[in-house]
């Protein structure tokens, strides 16, 4: 056997998982074959065995399924996938029902299939280490725990208590596992781990799982119990409200839990296998595995970071502009141990910016998520000031002032000389090209864009923009700075709107264009929600301010004129401009835009009634599926254009950026994975049709089509 070391000594059969050439153990095909072989060996020699120990030679216990193998599956592979899962579970059950005590020695993290391997043991001993994680997060990848995880966790915890761990993928550490009864003992080190395992084996020669006992009852009761039945009767509707029917995994998990609780163990396991086979050969799982595992890990491991440059650890960072963005950045820095200078034009404004951190930390203290000493330490790292000289010695200075080239240039020239030797300067602009802003810098090679998203404390993504002269060291340092904040960096090249703002603009302006065509506003908003966007395009325009969109349009026109060109505004842009200039509707902050916002506390916003008379045309024919396509395809086309033009350097930056930055539906796996999941030919054909009817925004040039094919991932 290649992945499992088998040793029989003094009646103890030890199975040590050790996949060669891999930092972790996985359920690769070789491991499944080895499990089959070692199980047969144990059964044949069971008379000489008094107990079985499951252990790992890695730093972690077991990592789970071989996701690359899952990515290669097709719908036609479902029967074979079902058979493989059943074979694995047959071996699990053979070990569990052999009549010999089985102990899992958990020396490290066990997630997904790894936790299912751990659950084979009748008894589980874990190292007492807070860094260790256990759980079944498969749902976050469009999958479900199908190697007995759903069935066993339901029988361990009950139908209601198990739901967060199965349907939400909630993970837990060794101490929480002990409280839940999922781990039975904690050990200080590896030697104690094994000693406790051997001691329990000696004391429990005829061990079995609780559900294999004749008097076993599921905690809390089965679906036949009236209280459980009442809770389960509303669960599907609540789930549909949360997922909008776009995520099959949580629905499959819930169905599997309920159906499995009504039958015997063996039947429940078969039900589980069938649901898993359907999910793992479907499009949604591939999309989510591709992005939330492979793409996200590519970014975390620094694939977008220039190579060969020493890691940068920011110690002191200055922020110019203590408004909403600057205050949020200051809080993010101080939360991660970075000394922060928050500068504004007056001490009062600087103090107001710091007060945001005081309010936020107090909320955390009140909720028990932070103690007063931690709050005091965090706030001590932020110094509010109206003196530019206080920025002296900063490793990095970020300007977060209003979107004005002149103001940003002034701040750059005043603050940049105060950097420590080797320091660099960044702009938090969301739209203005970095190369243009860098003309105000004495060292444009040390000037970069670091685009945070609002609200900074909640948004995980940060877009790093390389200007034409920005050097590799500055890009690498910006990447390290973002990771030091615990956020996700993507790296893009300079252009108008960069990647996220440019693509986000196509979403909202396509929605505005639909309104101009006479389509009811409610239908447009519902199409966005049904497609999986967080909110509809008109609501987003209100939140970000229609006046800001008009400001960007005016700046774009001016820039084109300066270059001797003429900018042709899109139908959506012209409608938004009319809303602001003619109809005086500038967005939520100004009192109203596409929506009215009642002053009464708790009152819900509603679409502005005048939209119907001003824009709606009863003769306009529309289809909800076509509206959804337009909103998603328009963003995917723009993403593909960014990749073709070199604004984006990789598919992983595109997918992660689209989901975490602009809210592209997670069920698709991101804007580029949306294309690949659908099939390149199917996508391009649909774009051809949409471009004929709805304009050049959907047009794919030969260069863009070639770029899509060139970047298609292979597993």
Check whether 374 has a pLDDT greater than 90.
Answer: yes
Give residue-wise pLDDT tens across range 86-104. Answer: 999 999 999 999 999 999 9
Residue 111 pLDDT class (50, 70, 90 cuts):
very high
The pLDDT value recorded for residue 496 is: 86
Taking Cα atoms as reference points, which of 197, 254, 169, 170 lies closest to residue 53?
Answer: 197
The pLDDT value recorded for residue 101 is: 98
Exposure of 428 by Cβ count < 10 A (0-12 exposed, 13-18 middle, 19+ buried)?
Answer: buried
Is the domain 4-281 a CATH 3.40.50.10320 member? no
What is the mean pLDDT of the segment spanning 444-460?
95
The pLDDT value recorded for residue 353 is: 97
CA 680 vs CA 46, 235, 292, 294, 700: distances in Å: 54, 37, 21, 20, 12
What is the mean pLDDT of the segment spanning 536-543?
96
Check whether 212 has a pLDDT greater than 90.
Answer: yes
Taking Cα atoms as reference points, which of 699, 701, 653 lies closest to residue 291?
Answer: 653
**CA gap 100, 79 in Å, rounded:** 32
The pLDDT value recorded for residue 426 is: 98
Sheet containing 102-106: give its strands across: 4-9, 12-17, 51-56, 102-106, 123-127, 185-187
The pLDDT value recorded for residue 599 is: 86
Give residue-wise pLDDT tens across range 480-518. Answer: 999 999 999 999 999 988 999 999 999 999 999 999 999
Right CATH for 501-646+650-710 from 1.10.20.10, 3.50.50.60, 3.30.450.20, 1.10.1040.50 = 1.10.1040.50
Find the distance separating the first CA and the last CA of the chain, reported in whole Å: 26
Give residue-wise pLDDT tens across range 51-97. Answer: 999 999 999 999 989 999 999 999 999 999 999 999 999 999 999 99
Domain chopping of the chain, boundaries: 4-281, 316-496, 501-646+650-710
Give residue-wise pLDDT tens across range 255-292. Answer: 999 999 999 999 999 999 999 999 999 999 999 999 99
**CA gap 372, 565 in Å, rounded:** 58
DSSP E strand stretches across 354-510? 382-385, 394-399, 419-427, 447-452, 461-466, 488-493
Share of the chain above pLDDT 70, in %: 100
What is the mean pLDDT of the segment spanning 557-578?
94
The pLDDT value recorded for residue 484 is: 97
The pLDDT value recorded for residue 601 is: 83
Give residue-wise pLDDT tens across range 420-441. Answer: 999 999 999 988 899 999 999 9
**CA gap 266, 374 in Å, rounded:** 51
**CA gap 224, 607 in Å, rounded:** 45
CATH of domain 316-496: 3.40.50.720
Average pLDDT of the chain is: 96
The pLDDT value recorded for residue 403 is: 84
């Amino acid at each position: 056997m290649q992945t499992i070391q088998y040793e029989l000594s003094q009646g103890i059969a030890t199975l040590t998982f050790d996949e060669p050439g891999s930092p972790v153990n996985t359920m690769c095909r070789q491991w499944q074959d080895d499990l089959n072989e070692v199980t047969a060996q144990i059964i044949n020699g069971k008379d000489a065995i008094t107990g079985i120990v499951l252990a790992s030679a890695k730093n972690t216990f077991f990592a789970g399924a071989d996701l690359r193998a899952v990515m290669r599956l097709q719908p036609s592979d479902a029967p074979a996938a079902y058979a493989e899962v059943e074979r694995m579970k047959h071996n699990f059950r053979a070990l569990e029902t052999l009549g010999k005590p089985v102990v899992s020695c958990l020396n490290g993290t066990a997630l997904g299939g790894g936790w299912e391997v751990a659950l084979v043991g009748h008894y589980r001993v874990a190292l007492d280490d807070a860094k260790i994680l256990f759980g079944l997060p498969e749902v976050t990848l469009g999958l479900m725990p199908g190697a007995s995880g759903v069935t066993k966790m339901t029988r361990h915890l009950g139908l209601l208590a198990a739901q967060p761990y199965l349907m939400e993928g909630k993970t837990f550490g060794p101490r929480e596992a002990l409280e839940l009864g999922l781990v039975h003992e904690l050990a200080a080190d590896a030697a104690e781990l094994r000693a406790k395992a051997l001691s329990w084996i000696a004391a429990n020669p005829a061990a079995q799982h609780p559900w294999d006992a004749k008097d076993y009852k599921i905690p809390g009761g089965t679906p036949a119990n009236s209280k459980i039945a009442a809770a389960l009767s509303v669960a599907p509707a609540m789930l549909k409200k949360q997922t909008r029917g776009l995520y099959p995994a949580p629905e499959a998990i819930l169905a599997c839990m309920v159906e499995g609780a009504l039958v015997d163990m063996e039947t429940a396991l078969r039900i589980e296998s069938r649901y898993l086979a359907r999910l793992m050969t479907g499009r949604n799982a591939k999309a989510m595995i591709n992005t939330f595992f492979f793409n996200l890990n590519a970014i975390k491991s620094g694939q977008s970071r220039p190579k060969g440059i020493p890691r940068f650890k920011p110690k002191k960072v200055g922020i110019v502009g203590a408004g909403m963005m600057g205050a949020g950045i200051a809080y993010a820095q101080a939360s991660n141990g970075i000394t922060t200078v928050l500068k504004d034009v007056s001490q009062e404004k600087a103090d107001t910016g710091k007060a945001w951190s005081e309010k936020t930390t107090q909320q955390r203290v009140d909720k028990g998520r932070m103690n007063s000493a931690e709050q005091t330490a965090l706030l001590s790292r932020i110094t509010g000031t109206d003196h530019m000289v206080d920025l002296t010695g900063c490793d990095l200075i970020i300007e977060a002032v209003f979107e004005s080239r002149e103001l940003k240039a002034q701040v750059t020239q005043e603050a940049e000389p105060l950097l420590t030797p080797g320091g660099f300067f960044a702009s938090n602009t969301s739209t203005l090209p970095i190369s243009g802003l860098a003309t105000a810098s004495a060292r444009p090679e040390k000037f970069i864009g670091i685009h945070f998203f609002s609200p900074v404390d909640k948004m995980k993504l940060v877009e790093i923009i390389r200007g034409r002269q920005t050097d590799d060291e500055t890009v690498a340092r910006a990447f390290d700075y973002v990771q030091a904040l615990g956020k996700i960096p993507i790296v893009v090249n300079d252009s108008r709107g960069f990647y996220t703002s440019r693509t986000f603009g196509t979403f909202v302006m396509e929605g505005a264009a639909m309104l101009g065509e006479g389509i009811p506003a409610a239908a447009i908003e519902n199409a966005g929600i049904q497609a999986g966007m967080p909110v509809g395009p008109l609501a987003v325009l209100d939140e970000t301010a229609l006046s800001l969109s008009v400001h960007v349009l005016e700046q774009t026109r001016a820039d084109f004129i300066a270059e001797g060109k003429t900018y042709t505004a899109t139908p959506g842009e012209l409608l938004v401009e009319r809303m602001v200039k003619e109809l005086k509707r500038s967005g939520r902050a100004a009192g109203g835009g596409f929506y009215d916002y009642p002053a009464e506390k708790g009152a819900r916003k509603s679409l502005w009634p005048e939209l119907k008379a001003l824009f709606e045309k009863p003769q306009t024919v529309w289809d909800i599926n076509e509206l959804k396509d337009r909103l998603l395809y328009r963003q995917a086309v723009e993403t593909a254009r960014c990749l073709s033009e070199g604004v984006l350097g990789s598919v992983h930056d595109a997918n992660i950026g689209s989901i975490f930055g602009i809210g592209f539906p997670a069920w698709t796996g991101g804007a580029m994975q949306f294309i690949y999941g659908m099939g390149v030919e199917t996508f391009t054909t649909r774009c051809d049709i949409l471009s004929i009817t709805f304009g050049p925004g959907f047009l794919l040039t030969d260069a863009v089509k070639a770029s899509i094919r060139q970047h298609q991932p292979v597993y």
